[in-house]
Amino acid sequence: MTASAASALLGRQLKQMQSDKDIPGISCGLVKDNIFEWEVMLMISDDCKYYGGGFYRAHLTFPLEYPHLPPKMTFQTPIFHPNIFATGDVCISILHAPTNDPYGYESASERWSPVQTPETILLSVISMLSSPNDESPANVEAARMWREDPKEFRKRCRANVRVSLGED
């Protein structure tokens, strides 16, 4: 697929997401009119135990080879989570290139596939916020706290929610 084909596909997917009223809590737009870089706002519903009520800004950066290769997702708003690096980079199986995992943790079927869309990525990330995977953490401190000190983990997460709302 050429960059122009990827650009056209991303344009259709962005338009679909912007017009779809069935996706509550997700807003998308472009960064500097670049179809390969999206700004995303995730408004987390109150029923999410740790991040509920938060407004989290992130960027999705798509490669020219999209949809054959996955985008990269990076939170711009601070977020403390076992599957999010301190840099804000999201570590979730569907954003890993469609190759075999050299560590044997993920099967190829769990990794990126061209059938994934920005919508499925964002819905997976929202699900990940409620159900972290602490077996293969990007943030070891968050994973340890999630397992060993859930009260402190929740406290750290709620502090991030306040920051996301501009309260701190």
Active-site residues, by number, are 91
Cα distances (angstroms) measured from residue 12 to each of 6, 93, 121: 10, 24, 16
Residues linked to residue 43 through DSSP beta bridges, in sequence order = 55
C-alpha torsion angle, residues 30, 76, 23, 112 (rounded to 10): 90
> Would you give the DSSP letter of residue 168?
-
Q: Identify the CA nearest to 77 among candidates 129, 48, 42, 35.
A: 42
- Give the C-alpha separation, 22 to 8, whole Å: 23
- Give the C-alpha separation, 130 to 61, whole Å: 23
- Give the C-alpha separation, 158 to 54, whole Å: 9
